[in-house]
Amino acid sequence: MGLQDMDRAGVSRGKGQQFRAEMAGAAQDSANRADALRSEMGASQANVAAAQQYDAMQRSERLASEGLLQNLRDSERQERLAQRASGMDSYDAWMRGQLGLASMQLDYTPLLRQLFSN
């Protein structure tokens, strides 16, 4: 095929043309092999990039899940603290009421006024 590209009218095929044709064929084979290797390298790089992206996505999803779980735990803790605070507030209000009742004194002023006015 390389010889056909070099055919000219009135020129016979000789060893020089054959050598040049073989060199052109070898150069083309080499270029084809280089293209094939570049394609393989590109595919390999794409596979590595996809694997890295997959790993990064897995790490991201794991962190997101851990964050959601931590938020759930925090909200449960806050709820328990709120219940304790509510109980303490109720107890405090009850104690203030008890102390208020214990410290109350009856107002005898109207009774005394009536007794002394007669």
Whole-number pLDDT of residue 25: 84
Q: Which of 72, 74, 92 is nearest to 84 (CA)?
A: 92
In a domain, 43, yes or no: yes
Whole-number pLDDT of residue 100: 64
Q: What is the pLDDT of residues 77-86, one digit of tens each?
A: 999 999 999 9
In a domain, 117, yes or no: no
In a domain, 23, yes or no: yes
Judged by average pLDDT, the poorest of 62-71, 80-89, 102-111 is: 102-111
In a domain, 115, yes or no: no
Note down the domain range covering 43: 2-102
Answer whether residue 13 shows pLDDT above 80: no
Rounded Cα gap, residues 25 and 5, in angstroms: 11
Query: 9: Cβ–Cβ under 8 A, 6 or more apart, which residues?
Result: none
pTM: 0.45
Rounded Cα gap, residues 13 and 22, in angstroms: 13
Domains identified in the chain, total number: 1
In a domain, 85, yes or no: yes
In a domain, 18, yes or no: yes
- 3-class DSSP state of 106: coil
- State what percent of residues in the chain have pLDDT above 70: 78
In a domain, 112, yes or no: no
